[in-house]
Chains A and B, each alone.
Chain A
Amino acid sequence: MTGTCPLPLLTLLLTLPVGTAALCLACRHRPAAARSLALAGTLAVLLIAIGCFVLLPAETGWLLRENYRWIPALGIQVSLGIDSLSLLMILLTAFLSVLAIGLSWNEDNRPTAYFALLLLVEAGVLGVFMALDLVLFYISWELMLIPLFFLIGIWGQRGGMAAAMKFFLFSLAGSLLMLLAIISLYVLHGQQSGDYSFALSALQNTVVPTGLEPWLFAAFALAFLIKVPLVPLHSWQADTYSAAPAACSLLLAGVLAKTGIYGLIRFALPLFPDTAQAALPLLAVLSLVSILYGGWIASAQRDLKRLVAYSSLAHLGFILLGLSAWTTTAVEGALLQMVNHGLTTAALFILIALIEKRAGTRQLEELGGLWGRAPKLSAMLLFFSLAALGLPGLNNFVGEILILLGTFSVQPLWAVLAAAGLLLAAIYMLRLLQSVIWGPAQDEKSWSDLVLSEWLLLVPLVLLVLWLGLHPETFLEPLRGSAQQLLNGAAPLSLSGGLP
C-alpha cells in the first residue's frame, strides 16, 4: 500500500490549509466569508484524514509516502510520509482545528488575519507530523510557532505580548539548538558516506561519535521537551495558556504538546538509540516530577485556565512516563493517551471559554452555582472533568491504566508514585467542580444554557470520549505496530520511496 494512492494526499493535506489561509486573507473586507472558508478548509482536511484512517489498512510501516525534489544543492527534499501513529495525530490535529475555528466563530478583532493564522498553525502542525526530511520538519516546526506568536500576542488577553514573547523565546532556544544538531548530523553523514542529505532515512545510518551523541540527543530532546513541556522547562506554559485566546490554548495543549512527544518518538529516539536508552530513567524521573508537581500546583490554582494548564503538565508527564517505561503495554498506553489527552483538554478549554463568556471571569472564587443557572453546561463540565481525572469507562482511564500496568511490570516504584498523581488529579478536578458548579451563585443574573452551536462543538467530543473509553481497540490496534517499531528500534525507514 506504500504510496500507491493516485492523489498526492499528503501534499494536499499540507497545502490545503495554506491555500485556505491565503484565500482568507484575500477576502479582507468580508469576515463572514473568511470564517466560512476557514471552516470549509479545516473540514476538508478532517475529511481527508478520516478517509485515510478508514480506508488505509492498519499495517505496520509507511501507509503513504511522497517525495519531491526541492533543493538538491543542499540535499533537501520534500519527503512526506505517514504511518498509523502520524495518521492518528493528523486526525487529532484536523479535528481540533475544526473545533478551534468553531470556538472562535464570533471573533470580531481582525477576523480574517485571525483565521488565516489559525490555518497556518494547522499547516505547520500537519507538516511536523508528516515530514521525513529534517529541514522540512524544522521549517514546519517553526511555522507553527510564528503564527502562534501573533495569535497570542495580538488576540490574547492582557499580558498577551509578554506571554507570547516568553513562549517564542523558550521554543526558539530549543529549536535553534536542534537545528544545530540537525546540521551536525547532516555534516557527519555527508563526511561518512559522501551523500549530503537531510532525509531521515539517510541520517539514521549515521555513525555518531560516542562523545558527540549525548549532545546531539540533548539538543533534540530539549527542543521537544520544551514544547511538551516537562518540568524544568515548563515555566512558559501556564502564562501562555492563560493569556492565549481560547482556540490557541486548545491547540497548544491539544496538538502542540503532542508534536513534542511525536518528535521524540519519530526523531530523537530512533536517531540516537543508545543515548536514548541511557536517558530513559532521567526522562522517567522528570515525568514523575511533572506528574506530582503539576498535580500539586494545579490544586492551588485560582484561575481555571491555569488549573487546566498545570493538570495538562501532569497528564503529559504520564505520557512520557509511559514512553520511558519502554514496555509494550506502557508505550501503547502512552501513544493512546496522546489522543485522549488532546480530546479531554480541548473539551475543558472549550468549556472554560463558554463559562468565561457567560461569567466574564475565570477565577474560581468568583464562580459558583453553575448547576442552577446552566445545568447542561454543568453536566458537560462534570462529564469531561471526570474523564480528565480518569473515571473508568471514559477515555483517560484506558491510557492511564495501560501506562501504569506497563510501568509497574518494570519499575513498581514509578507506578506507585504516578498513581499518587492520579489522586492529585481527583483532588484538583473535584475542587474545580465544587467551586464552579456547586455553591452559591455570585450574582442574580440568569445565564443562557448551551445553544446549538456550542452543542455542535461538544457532542463530537462526548462521542469520542465514550468511544475511546468503551472500545479503545479501534485506535489501539493501529498503534500497536508503531509501539512495536519504536521498541524494536528498527523503524521502517529503510523503505525509501523513489522520486516520482
Chain B
Amino acid sequence: MTVTELIALLPLMILALGATALLLLARGSVGRSWPLVVGALVALCAALSALLLPPCLMEVGGMYAAGPYARFFIALWSLATAATLISSSAYLTRRQLPSGEYTALLLFAAAGMGLLSSAVSLSGIFLALEAFTLVFYVLIAFNKDCPLGAEAGLKYLVPGGVAAGLLAFGMALLYAASGSLQLPAATAALLSGAPMQSVALAGMALLLAAFAFKLSLAPFHFWTPDVYQGAPAPVTGLLASGSKGAVIAALLTLTATLPAAPAIFEPVLITLALLSMVVGTLCALAQSNVKRMLAYSSVVHMGFVLTGLLCWNHTGRTAALFYLVGYSVITLGIFAVITSFSADKEPQQLSDYRGLARRQPLRALALTVLLLALAGLPPTVGFMGKLAIFSAALSAGYPLLAIIGILVSVVSIYFYLQPVIQMYMPSSSSAEAVEGHAGEYTVIALCLVLTLAFGLFPGPLLELIARLTP
C-alpha cells in the first residue's frame, strides 16, 4: 500500500485506529465520560480530514473510492457518530454502562458506514456492510440488564445473517455472470444483450433483497420495530440515520452504474417503495409506543428515498441524497431528545410524554419541531426534501408514487402529532423529570438549527449534493 493510498484512507484510519486505541486504553470506564469526549474528538478529526484533505486518489485498491462523494459521507457519518457520542454520556452513566467499549464500538461503526458509502466494488460493499452490522449486533444489546435489548439484538442478528447470506450469494452470481467484482463491470452483465444476463438478474434480485432488509423496506421490515424498541435510544438514532444512510449511499453507487433500471426490476422497486409507504404508515398509526412509531416511520421514509433513487436520473438521486441528509439530521435530533428524556427507563409510551412541555419546555419544543419536520411541514428540511423527491418523481413519470406519497403524508401527520399532543396536555405523567445534560442540549440544538436552516436555505446543500452525486 502506497503512501498516497494511506492518505486517501486517512479519515477511515483515524476512526479505526482511534477505536482500537480507546479499546486498549479505556478499561473500567463505567460512569466516566472522558472516553466519549475523546471518541467525539476522534470522529470530528475524521470528519475534518475527510472534508479538508484534497482527494489525491479516486480509488484505493479498486474497492473503495476516495473522491468527494465518499468523503462527504465519511464526514456525515463521523459527525453523526460524534453527535451520538456527545449525547450518550448521561444515558450511559445512569445505566452503569462502560463508556470506553461503547465509544470504540461506535467509532468502528462509523468507520464501517464510511467504508460502505465509499465502496465501488461488490466485495467492498460486503466487507463494509458486515463490518458495521457486526458492531450494531453488539451495540443494540449493549445494555445487558435490559431483556428487550437482548431480544432486539437477536432479532437484528437473525435477519442480518440471512441478509448477509443473500448478499454473498447474489454477489457470487453477479461475479459468475460478469467475471468482475468491480462496479461498472460487475453490473454491466445486467444490461440486455449481455451473456448470462439471467444469472446476473438473479444475483441482483438477491442483492436487492439484502439491501431491502438493511433499509427495512416493506415487506422486509419486520425486525425494525422490535429492534428500535429494544435498542438503547442513542444507538437507535445512529441505526436509523447512519446505518440506513450508508446502505442508501452504496445502493446509489450501484444504481448510478446502470443507465436505466433493468426492465424486470422497475416494477419490483416501485412495489417496494409503494408498500413501504403504505404499510409503514398504516402500522405507525396503530402504535402507542413512540420508538415503534418511529421505526415504522423510518420504513415510510426509506420508501420516499427509494422513490428518488428509482427515478434513475441525476435529479432523482440528488433528491434522494438531500432527503437522506435531512432525514438523518432530524432523526438524530429526535433520538437525542428521547435520550435526554430517559431516566432509568426510556420514555417509550405516549403517556410518558404527557405534560412534558410544562416541565421541559425547550426540549418539548425541539421535539415538536423535529416531529413536524419528519412529517414534512415547512419551513423545515423535511418539506424541502419532499418537494425535491416529488418533483423528481413527477418529472420522471411516476405520478402514482407521488400521489401515494402525498396521501401517506396526510395520514402520517396524525401519528407524528400524537406525542406533541401528549406533551402539551395540561396534566402531567407520573414519570420523574429528567434534567438535561449539556451534551444532549448541544446535539439537540445543532440538529434543530440544521433542520430549520436546511429548510429555509437548502440552496447550498442542494448544490453541493448535486455536484457529488454520480
Chain A partners chain B? yes
**Residues of chain A having any CB pair with chain B under 8 Å:** 70-74, 135, 138-139, 142-143, 146, 149-150, 153-154, 161, 165, 168-169, 172-173, 176-177, 179-180, 183-184, 186-187, 190-191
Where chain B touches its partner, the secondary structure class is helix
Told that A180-B406, A186-B391 touch, could you supply 19 new A-B pairs with CB distance under 8 A?
A: A70-B459, A71-B459, A73-B459, A73-B462, A142-B377, A142-B383, A149-B417, A150-B424, A153-B424, A165-B414, A172-B410, A176-B406, A179-B390, A180-B390, A180-B402, A183-B390, A184-B394, A184-B399, A187-B394
Per-residue 0/1 for B371-390: is the Cβ within 8 Å of any A Cβ (1 yes, 0 no)? 01000011100011001101
Contact B462 A168 (CB under 8 A): no
Contact A142 B459 (CB under 8 A): no
Known: A179-B406, A180-B402. Contact between A74 and B462, CB under 8 A?
yes
**Residues of chain B having any CB pair with chain A under 8 Å:** 372, 377-379, 383-384, 387-388, 390-391, 394-395, 399, 402-403, 406-407, 409-410, 413-414, 417, 421, 424-425, 457-459, 462-463, 466
Known: A73-B462, A138-B378. Contact between A176 and B410, CB under 8 A?
yes
Contact A190 B395 (CB under 8 A): yes
A-B contact pairs, 29 of them (CB 8 A): A73-B463, A73-B466, A74-B391, A74-B458, A74-B462, A139-B378, A139-B379, A142-B378, A142-B383, A143-B378, A146-B372, A149-B417, A161-B425, A165-B414, A165-B421, A168-B413, A169-B413, A169-B414, A172-B410, A176-B407, A176-B409, A176-B410, A179-B390, A183-B387, A183-B390, A184-B394, A184-B399, A186-B391, A190-B395
Known: A142-B377, A169-B414, A173-B410. Contact between A191 and B421, CB under 8 A?
no
Task: Report the 7 A-B pairs with minimum CB-CB distance, sorted nearest first.
Answer: A139-B378, A73-B462, A187-B395, A187-B394, A71-B459, A180-B406, A173-B410
Contact B402 A183 (CB under 8 A): yes
How long is the Cα–Cα vector from A173 to B378 in the complex, in angstroms?
Answer: 15
- A139 / chain B contacts, CB cutoff of 8 Å: 378-379, 383
Task: List the A residue with the shortest CB-CB distance to B396.
Answer: A187
Task: List the B residue with the shortest CB-CB distance to A154.
Answer: B424
Contact B395 A191 (CB under 8 A): yes
- B458 / chain A contacts, CB cutoff of 8 Å: 71, 73-74
- A183 / chain B contacts, CB cutoff of 8 Å: 387, 390-391, 394, 402
How long is the Cα–Cα vector from A354 to B32 in the complex, in angstroms?
Answer: 60
Contact B377 A135 (CB under 8 A): no
- B377 / chain A contacts, CB cutoff of 8 Å: 142, 146
How long is the Cα–Cα vector from A222 to B391 in the complex, in angstroms?
Answer: 21
- B394 / chain A contacts, CB cutoff of 8 Å: 183-184, 187
- A184 / chain B contacts, CB cutoff of 8 Å: 394, 399
- A72 / chain B contacts, CB cutoff of 8 Å: 459
CB distance from A125 to the nearest CB of B (A): 15
- B413 / chain A contacts, CB cutoff of 8 Å: 168-169, 172
Known: A138-B378, A180-B402. Contact between A71 and B410, CB under 8 A?
no
Contact A153 B459 (CB under 8 A): no
How long is the Cα–Cα vector from A176 to B405 in the complex, in angstroms?
Answer: 10
Contact B417 A168 (CB under 8 A): yes
How long is the Cα–Cα vector from A143 to B407 in the complex, in angstroms?
Answer: 20
How long is the Cα–Cα vector from A135 to B390 in the complex, in angstroms?
Answer: 13
How long is the Cα–Cα vector from A70 to B384 in the complex, in angstroms?
Answer: 13
How long is the Cα–Cα vector from A165 to B383 in the complex, in angstroms?
Answer: 20
Contact B387 A135 (CB under 8 A): yes
- A186 / chain B contacts, CB cutoff of 8 Å: 391
How long is the Cα–Cα vector from A143 to B378 in the complex, in angstroms?
Answer: 7
- A176 / chain B contacts, CB cutoff of 8 Å: 406-407, 409-410
CB distance from A373 to the nearest CB of B (A): 33
CB distance from B71 to the nearest CB of A (A): 21
- B414 / chain A contacts, CB cutoff of 8 Å: 165, 169
CB distance from A466 to the nearest CB of B (A): 41
Contact A180 B421 (CB under 8 A): no
- B409 / chain A contacts, CB cutoff of 8 Å: 176
Task: List the B residue with the shortest CB-CB distance to A212.
Answer: B399
How long is the Cα–Cα vector from A180 to B405 in the complex, in angstroms?
Answer: 10
Q: Which of A161, A173, A176, A186 has the most CB of B within 10 A?
A: A176
How long is the Cα–Cα vector from A184 to B398 in the complex, in angstroms?
Answer: 11
Contact A165 B417 (CB under 8 A): yes
Contact B457 A71 (CB under 8 A): yes
CB distance from A110 to the nearest CB of B (A): 9
- B388 / chain A contacts, CB cutoff of 8 Å: 74
CB distance from A236 to the nearest CB of B (A): 14
Task: List the B residue with the shortest CB-CB distance to A72.
Answer: B459
Task: List the A residue with the shortest CB-CB distance to B368.
Answer: A150
Contact B421 A187 (CB under 8 A): no
Task: List the A residue with the shortest CB-CB distance to B357.
Answer: A154
CB distance from B318 to the nearest CB of A (A): 9
Q: Which of B395, B424, B462, B463 has the most CB of A within 10 A?
A: B395
How long is the Cα–Cα vector from A138 to B399 in the complex, in angstroms?
Answer: 20
- B379 / chain A contacts, CB cutoff of 8 Å: 139, 143
How long is the Cα–Cα vector from A65 to B453 in the complex, in angstroms?
Answer: 26
How long is the Cα–Cα vector from A138 to B455 in the complex, in angstroms?
Answer: 14
CB distance from B422 to the nearest CB of A (A): 10
CB distance from B173 to the nearest CB of A (A): 38
- A149 / chain B contacts, CB cutoff of 8 Å: 417
Task: List the A residue with the shortest CB-CB distance to B358.
Answer: A110
Task: List the A residue with the shortest CB-CB distance to B408.
Answer: A176
CB distance from B350 to the nearest CB of A (A): 13
How long is the Cα–Cα vector from A191 to B392 in the complex, in angstroms?
Answer: 12
Task: List the A residue with the shortest CB-CB distance to B418.
Answer: A165
Task: List the B residue with the shortest CB-CB distance to A170.
Answer: B410
- B459 / chain A contacts, CB cutoff of 8 Å: 70-73
How long is the Cα–Cα vector from A180 to B394 in the complex, in angstroms?
Answer: 9
How long is the Cα–Cα vector from A176 to B402 in the complex, in angstroms?
Answer: 11
- B395 / chain A contacts, CB cutoff of 8 Å: 187, 190-191
**Contact residue among A143, A153, A177, A179 (Cβ-Cβ distance under 8 Å from B421):** A153
How long is the Cα–Cα vector from A70 to B457 in the complex, in angstroms?
Answer: 7
How long is the Cα–Cα vector from A183 to B393 in the complex, in angstroms?
Answer: 10
CB distance from B424 to the nearest CB of A (A): 5
- A74 / chain B contacts, CB cutoff of 8 Å: 387-388, 391, 458, 462
Q: Which of A143, A150, A172, A177 has the most CB of B within 10 A?
A: A172
- A172 / chain B contacts, CB cutoff of 8 Å: 410, 413
- A138 / chain B contacts, CB cutoff of 8 Å: 378
- A177 / chain B contacts, CB cutoff of 8 Å: 406
How long is the Cα–Cα vector from A70 to B388 in the complex, in angstroms?
Answer: 15
Contact A180 B391 (CB under 8 A): no
How long is the Cα–Cα vector from A161 to B425 in the complex, in angstroms?
Answer: 9
- A154 / chain B contacts, CB cutoff of 8 Å: 424
How long is the Cα–Cα vector from A149 to B424 in the complex, in angstroms?
Answer: 12
- B407 / chain A contacts, CB cutoff of 8 Å: 176
How long is the Cα–Cα vector from A149 to B413 in the complex, in angstroms?
Answer: 12
How long is the Cα–Cα vector from A186 to B387 in the complex, in angstroms?
Answer: 11
- B399 / chain A contacts, CB cutoff of 8 Å: 184
How long is the Cα–Cα vector from A190 to B394 in the complex, in angstroms?
Answer: 11
Task: List the A residue with the shortest CB-CB distance to B463.
Answer: A73
CB distance from A192 to the nearest CB of B (A): 12
Task: List the B residue with the shortest CB-CB distance to A69.
Answer: B459
How long is the Cα–Cα vector from A73 to B399 in the complex, in angstroms?
Answer: 22
Contact A169 B410 (CB under 8 A): yes
- A187 / chain B contacts, CB cutoff of 8 Å: 391, 394-395
Contact B462 A71 (CB under 8 A): yes
- A71 / chain B contacts, CB cutoff of 8 Å: 384, 457-459, 462
Q: Which of A73, A190, A191 has the most CB of B within 10 A?
A: A73
How long is the Cα–Cα vector from A191 to B395 in the complex, in angstroms?
Answer: 8
How long is the Cα–Cα vector from A179 to B377 in the complex, in angstroms?
Answer: 11
